Amino acid sequence: MKPINIGLLGIGTVGGGTYTVLKRNQEEIARRAGREIKVTMIADRDLDRARSFADHDVIVTDNAHEVTTHPDIDIVVELIGGQTIAKDLILEALAHGKHVVTANKALLANHGTEIFAAARAKGVIIAFEAAVAGGIPIIKALREGLTANRITWVAGIINGTSNFILSEMREKGLSFEQVLAEAQKLGYAETDPTYDIEGIDAAHKITLMSAIAFGIPVQFSKVYTEGITKLTGEDIRYAEQLGYRIKLLGITKRVEKGIELRVHPALIPVRRLIANVEGVMNAIVVKGDAVGATLYYGAGAGAEPTASSVIADLVDVTRLHTADPKYRVPPLSFQPDLLSDTPVIPMEDVETSYYLRMQVIDKPGVMAEITRTVAENNISISALIQKEPSSDSDRVSIIMLTHLTVEKNINAAIARIESLPVVTSKVIRIRIEELNN
């Protein structure tokens, strides 16, 4: 059979890794795909860089439209990122009947509905395994491996930069600012790390996983997003003493009122495997009604781990290249006309447990006043710890763990607590996720 011809848009870190792995494992990949998968065109603004990768018979251009419209290209691989030019190029490729493989999580989280509809209209495939968790095949697991299950929840450490920062803060006792600078020096964090440390990158990924897990449209605008910039070494140490680790989690859960969709730091019991995922590694737990909890662990970024997912998509598309479109697995697992209108519920209606820390004046009656305030907001306390004050201070830290309660109740309680004259600090609030239900 004639080779499948690939047009590669972008030959940066992931594009270069994709080209390298395809070339190195060419024979093995061809055996699995049933035919050769061959890059025949590369588009990149840096022509010298592109030529440094390309074999002599590969066409190199700085005009990406030449690739998306070329009649001999079967699959366009978009690895340039962003949400403007990349979107135009993907839609152009689809309009010309090309299958598309992309790692562009931000684009799909914001414009996936339009892009998936365009692919369906032309009877072609849009594949995006590399858009979530790098080399971990979580999209395939959700779309195919767990298709018999009614998914209950998905929770994941899906941003390596934030996980590295939290791991280093815990292990070395350094401040957030110190570890961020170290992460930037090591290349784990961008010069502008906002997407990573504010949870936006994780929100893109959990948006896609939620859509696949529950058969709902992609709805990035409805993700509750909270980053790690306000976490302190003090809370990380206290969490450890209480038997927890703090991780930035992307969570989506099916509950009676609808679908929860949120990203925020969370205390996870140390006995959970996911709590022990350290450094830049990623891990996702999926709970299904038939299979129970399953864990997926691996490198969430990097040239060759991400290339592994890109090439897995290329092999899948090659196998299905001539298949009847109506028998292919849809991008969001469920058939497009059977997507659910189950609502994403607002964060104030989410029910979970909480870690609260506050500083108060050390005098009789303070603890009773705080617990009474909490009880008046229908919150039940599971543990209450008062730290010893330092010898030169009349202030003391109180740490409170709650049972399950609704977010709006905890917000009301925090507002009341902070208004008390005996409370001398803002209340630190971190959610607790047991990940066992």
**Other CB atoms within 10 Å distance of the CB of residue 66:** 14
- E strand intervals along 329-432: 351-361, 381-386, 395-402, 405-406, 428-432
Residues 431, 354: Cα–Cα separation, whole Å: 4
Give me the residues paired with residue 296 across strands.
284
3-state secondary structure 374-403: HHHCCCCEEEEEECCCCCCCCEEEEEEEEC
Which residue is catalytic, options 205, 222, 247, 287? 205
Give CA–CA dist 62/434, Å, rounded: 50
Sign (positive/negative) of CA torsion 242, 247, 248, 253?
A: negative
Dist. CA 131–CA 144, nearest whole Å: 17
Q: Which residues 6+ apart lie within 8 Å of 18 measured at CB?
A: 8, 77, 79, 306, 307, 310, 311
The answer to whether 151 touches 213, Cβ cutoff 8 Å, is: yes
Strand partners, 57: none
Strands annotated E in 73-218: 75-78, 99-102, 126-127, 151-157
Phi, psi angle pair for 381, to nearest 5°: -90, 130
CA distances from 5 to 71, 98, 224 (A): 10, 11, 41
Please indicate whether residue 23 is annotated as part of the active site. no
Residues acting as catalytic residues: 205
